[in-house]
Structure 1
């Protein structure tokens, strides 16, 4: 139908505002620090066919492919078969999901008995069972990583609030208060989305609301195609590497060809190394998210809504059985590491076409760091997602001590950890001097955190990368520093691998150090005033400042 421009403006912004409100509700209602503080969750509104219309600005990785993730649910449970109180659930990476810890809830939006859309939320859950609390670094198949939920239809009245599905989930997690509380937060967020859309339908009519949802996607498609059309046609290639496969062999390489033709792009990961035996494999849904997020960030304006319309001009392919499209039952828990290399390889490829729009590599590694302890009152599980230093761009230094571009999590405040966990305490939390890559624009600095263990028996588990490799600079910029994880026990220093687990004793000090981002442009072109500012801010040491100024 023809939409009045004023009504379209009001309705479209109302839909986007509703998605943002869902995101705020999700975070404010959460129980675990990973969701409440780190904000590792997302929310969105979908149309009646399950295509994303609007989303909260939280985690790009979780939402860039939420439409494709919904489609297996839709195939099994068409909207015509749904009733009031039903909602759909999935976390299975081999049925369209990402990794098991990201559980997606889809609530249908009924208006006069008809489904006009879906409210969707996803949260990274602290523990979903599996072979180790929070994070099973030794998993060799997906079954060892946690409870697998294929596409399911659940009823809030029958299966939740003490019903069978809720009891099943509770029985399989080690920290039911936090995990079940976070599931309830997802339901609360979706309920807000349902309510706001029903209010809009009541005020403006279903026909106008449907038309607005379609127009929003068409708008994003037009803007995306216009941005792509400004990129010179051609085939551009890039690659990025992980340190190893988690078993001592490496490096592991992601390769891509980005083919620009008019107002569309093909992203082809042919030539990427085969899948590995550890949890570094990346489900294809995550590869779509990584590729589209990179292209949107580099080529377009941030005011373009990120919905399924933005995906239409982009085709992504990856060979089956490769690192970026593994075959069942390969483990995938650490898929953000390989997804980040996919993001970097696409960024490097398009740097050849639009050098002024790209950034250098950042540390670009999701470091999932977990401390767990079975105490007298049961399990206590602390999990945090770290980033590092961002890559620099043509007109900006890289951000210091932030998460990577696909994740966007916040660092958990020390006070929140003191409140929730009694078996460790944080000793320091600092930027790492000289970790940023040099350049006309420097990379972002990395950081470190140290934890003192207060009891015998906890386990530290983590996955990371770039403990040997480093984030590369662009156009003459220098690389960022590598990362590390150490355990100090008395006078001994124990170096952990980038993918590792280790049993701890009281008095141990665990330090996780994150690397910096690469620089952009020649270091000699950096103004002396900026070098002095970096020195005063503690980003660089006097020795580095003197050497840099001498250039």
Structure 2
């Protein structure tokens, strides 16, 4: 392999990382829908010629560890020698390596002097991909009811896009084609940036040096990851977390993890996890890998370690086939983020035994996908947002208030953006939830609530969440966070909904979704009085809670 001097390696490796970040910015700023433009529910990465992730934009942790593996399903059918300039690869099928149908992956080959030297990759959560109801089919009982399935396939920009057959097929199957097709174009724009930047590096420094930098960057991340793992005591540590229910009346559902540390490597085994269910809570295995890797990287390593496939080499993830975390086809998987969040919690609980100073308490840690839709005179209008709640506290910090969960990392959608894009509802209240945080020497993060006044008849609500009965557990004596709720106020009466539900709305209804808080860390009696007073003044806790904090 070509040897690089330290200066060349630094320039090339940082250039590749910068290119991936630029792709992420391009993806978000070119998007049409609020879920991608405002909430930033997407990701971008650069892969080497073998399809290994070299650099990734810091957007959605749920995509860590999965992009390269998802690409392999495409590469198996369309190896580099079968690709031509203008081709790109597409997939969203969870049972061919993908995550869920709404996450569509585009892979554009990077050609230099006629040969493929890498790939630019992007993924976006698309607002609507067909299926049994707009944006989110809460009642889906198999994959086919969740939307359009795209197996690994090769598409040519000139032939199949810009009015071509593949683009017309997609447009015909979505309810909001303007937004959805605009987001697909944003993915292409982001990938084009990645292709251009790698081609520029290849022309300036030569392909051999670019390849060497890509390999060196992965090796560097592997060394750093192994060093971090080696600093943790060897042993097998166990963790468990619970889902409230399966949305069909059965529960709670356990997710169990055995984390074995041996020298500089880790094995995570989810044996003992609940069997797959009939609702959409099942999680494809690619998502489970992402959850485990994201938790271990966040807890054990320094944030300056670049994420790439080198980071994955010391980690092995196992989940029983037919379980909630590795279901059999065609089980529905739309809400897989809830199950993998419990996988994240179980792994973190195991880490707390091995390295307590590095662990955090459970947060609300639930992706609440909340969808309002309405078929008006001009066609469908679909609003979808992903909520979080309160974060778990750590040894030296309170949990963050009102943020997305650790695997999702989506941003807040401003009320002004919703007013601009949607006419059938308006936001009437948006606030932190007092007393939703778990008590402790370090308190958990506060949850929040948002209310929507429905302005027209015929609107629909569909959502999934969790921890409406369960709570985010504290750590080392810390108290639990509050549970979540969702209610519709109609004619003065509150109609309380389940954590996974759908509901037909009418004009005058007010829908309020309330998200829970994070668990505390350490004994509540050890919290300084000055911090309790600050939380009281900030509205995080009530006067009664402040007076009885230690109790």
TM-score (structure 1 length as normaliser) = 0.99
Displacement of 1:222 in angstroms is: 0.3
**Contact 2:127/2:135 (<8 A) preserved:** yes
> 1:298-377 residue pairs with structure 2 within 5 A?
298-377=299-378
Where do residues 105-504 of structure 1 align in structure 2 (5 Å cutoff)?
Answer: 105-504=106-505
Give, in angstroms, the shift of residue 350 of structure 1.
Answer: 1.1
Q: Moved runs in structure 1, 4+ residues, more than 4 A?
A: none
Map Cα deviations across residues 49-108 of structure 1 (whole Å, 9 max, x no partner). Answer: 000000100001123211111111000000111000000000000000000000000000
Aligned pairs for 1:55-74 within 5 A? 55-74=56-75
CA contact (8 A) 1:243 1:469 kept: yes
1:3-82 matched pairs, under 5 angstroms: 3-82=4-83
Gaps of 5+ in 2: none
How far apart are 1:416 and its partner, in Å? 0.1
What SS does the aligned partner of 1:197 have?
Answer: helix
SS in 2 for 1:215: helix
Counterpart of 2:101?
A: 100
Structure 1 position 371, deviation (Å): 0.1
TM-aligned CA deviation for residue 491 of structure 1: 1.4
Would the aligned equivalents of 2:255 and 2:346 in 1 still touch at CA under 8 Å?
yes
Contact 1:280–1:337 (Cα < 8 Å) also in 2: yes
Distance in 1, Cα, partners of 2:187 & 2:69: 20
Structure 1: unaligned runs, 5 residues or longer: none
Separation (CA, whole Å) in 2 of partners of 1:458 and 1:300: 46
**3-state secondary structure, aligned to 1:157:** helix
Q: Tell me the SS of whatever aligns to 1:352.
A: helix
1:237-262 per-residue CA deviation (whole Å, 9 max, x = no partner) reads: 00100000110110001011001000
- State the distance in 1 between where 2:195 and 2:303 align: 26
Conservation of the 8 A alpha-carbon contact between 1:42 and 1:63 = no
Residue by residue over 1:431-463, the C-alpha shift from the partner in whole angstroms, topping out at 9 and shown as x without a partner, is 000000000000000000000000001000000
Distance between the aligned counterparts of 2:475 and 2:406, measured in 1? 17
**Would you say the 8 A contact 1:361–1:517 is kept in 2?**
yes
Secondary structure of 2:24's counterpart equals helix
Asked if structure 2 preserves the Cα contact closer than 8 Å seen for 1:366 and 1:407, the reply is yes
How far did residue 535 of structure 1 move? Answer: 0.4
Written as runs of structure 1 = structure 2, the 5 A alignment for 1:507-522 is 507-522=508-523
Q: Is the 8 A contact 1:363 1:388 kept in 2?
A: yes
Residues in 2 aligned to 1:64 and 1:433: alpha-carbon distance in whole angstroms: 37
Tell me how far apart the structure 2 counterparts of residues 418 and 253 of structure 1 sit (CA, whole Å): 40
Match of 1:266, SS? strand
SS of alignment partner, residue 548 of structure 2: helix
Count, aligned residues? 550
**How far is the alpha carbon of 1:411 from its aligned partner?**
1.2
Distance, in Å, in 1 between the alignment partners of 2:212 and 2:28 is 30
Change (3 A) 1:63 1:160: farther
Q: Structure 2: how far apart are the matches of 1:539 and 1:13?
A: 41
Contact 2:64 2:294 in 1 (8 A): no
Measure, in 1, the Cα distance between the counterparts of 2:522 and 2:114. 59
Alpha-carbon distance between aligned partners in 2 of 1:350 and 1:414, rounded to the nearest angstrom:
38
What is the rounded CA distance, in whole Å, between the counterparts of 1:371 and 1:137 in structure 2? Answer: 12
**Aligned to 1:400, what secondary structure does the other structure show?**
coil
